[in-house]
Structure 1
Amino acid sequence: MSRPADTRDRIIRAVLRIIGEHGVAGVTNRRIAKEAGVSLGSVTYHFATQHDLLRESLRSFVAEETRRFTELAAQYRADDVGLAEAGVLVGQVAARTSFDSEHIASFELYIQAGRDPQLRAAADECFAAYDRLAASILSALGVPDAERAASAAVALVTGIQLRRLATGSAADDLVDALLMLVGGPQRPE
């Protein structure tokens, strides 16, 4: 028998897959139940409204991404990585990030937050988490005024990732753009 937390997680993962494949408009309780392998009643038991589903799906995605990037940053912080090497590392991580349905869903949910004031608080929380992570990494790299540069770095990464998603382009521009943002050297050849 599934624990409630497992069922809730399966529902959230299903919502992210559905959004990534069909957009926010494709999210229906029946589709979620089928995709998650749960009863229709389980969906409404765990999430009273569509807004609850979308908000918690966005928060869940960002929490997992933040955890993953925090672990990666901690691993390289211990290695005393310089600014140029950190830029190259970010480019490698971006290049390895596949645009699976969950990553596509996050962009859909951010855009939906622009239309839906009930999602804006969750989007704000998500970007604040990314900003804190970026500030921590930039600070560890010795970037002056890392707190101020963090939101610009997050916006830059998000924008270039959106561009990659939309055009199929490579992540090469990301490294150069990040290094220019923080005033570091150009990418090593």
Structure 2
Amino acid sequence: MRRTDPERRDRIVDSVLDVIAEHGTAGATYRTVAEAADVPLGSMTYHFPTRDDMLLAAFTRLADTMHARFDRVLAELPEGTDPREGVVQIVVAEGVEHRRDMVLNTELWALAVRDERYRELVQHWMHRSRTSLERWFPAELTPMIDALLEGLVLHSWISVEPFDPDRVRAAVRRLTGPLEGFS
């Protein structure tokens, strides 16, 4: 009787992200991922014909997960809340709580600089983020807010200075200027 494992592909994708977080993209081989996912090596090529297919699936999962978190913060802002506080909340959470995702994100950016497929993935992710921001901000401002978010989160992880939410708040307010209905 053939053994079924309907969650195998998802387990592999999760394991790819775990391996990348620990060893970098270069360390994510079929063999290391199969071992981490506790699957036969043959399952790797069955689900992912190429190593690149495997990496792209994992980074797509990362982008989806991170965007869902981003979108949820903005979507769940209570009525009357200054939307700039949502942006600050995202930067603070990503800059303090999600180190693993920051490591994975920088691996993705490095691939995106070199490879069009990953650049397209990042572009799609940025488009979704900007669409989420457009709930509260003018469309022409959202690319700048998105870039500020990315830069502030990255700086929060690599800076030797303590993380300062008030400095984040000041940067967001300076970039956005006054918003109608909020001071």
Report the TM-score when normalising by structure 1.
0.81
Question: Does 1:183 pair with 2:177?
Answer: yes
Task: Describe the superposition over 1:69-117 as per-residue Cα deviations: whole angstroms up to 9, x where unpaired.
Answer: 22222221x43202454355345433442202x3311211111111122
Q: Does 1:12 align with 2:6?
A: no
Q: Which amino acid aligns with 1:167?
A: S
User: Which residue in the other structure is 2:163 paired with?
Assistant: 170
| SS class of match (1:81) | coil
How far off is 1:127 after superposition? 1.6
Shift of 1:157: 0.9
- The residue that corresponds to 1:132 in the other structure is 131
Separation of aligned partners in 1, 2:122 and 2:86: 26
Query: Which residue identity does 2:13 align to in structure 1?
Result: I
What is the aligned length?
A: 174
What is the distance in 2 between the residues matched to 1:75 and 1:85? 12
Q: CA deviation at 1:174?
A: 2.4
Please show how residues 61-100 of structure 1 align to structure 2 within 5 Å. 61-76=62-77, 78-83=78-83, 85-100=85-100
Alpha-carbon distance in structure 1 between the residues aligned to 2:169 and 2:94: 9
> What runs of 5+ residues in structure 1 fail to find an aligned partner?
none
Which has more helix, going by share of residues?
Answer: 1
Using the aligned pairs only, state the percent identity: 26
Match of 1:159 among 151, 160, 163: 151
Residues 1:31 and 2:32 are matched in the alignment: yes
TM-score, normalised on structure 2?
0.83
| SS at 1:147 equivalent | coil
The Cα shift of 1:25 comes to 1.0
CA distance in 1: counterparts of 2:95 and 2:157, whole angstroms: 11
Give 5+ residue unaligned stretches, structure 2.
none
- Backbone CA RMSD of aligned residues: 2.2
- Cα–Cα, structure 1 residues 95 and 162, in superposed 2: closer, same or farther, change >3 Å? closer
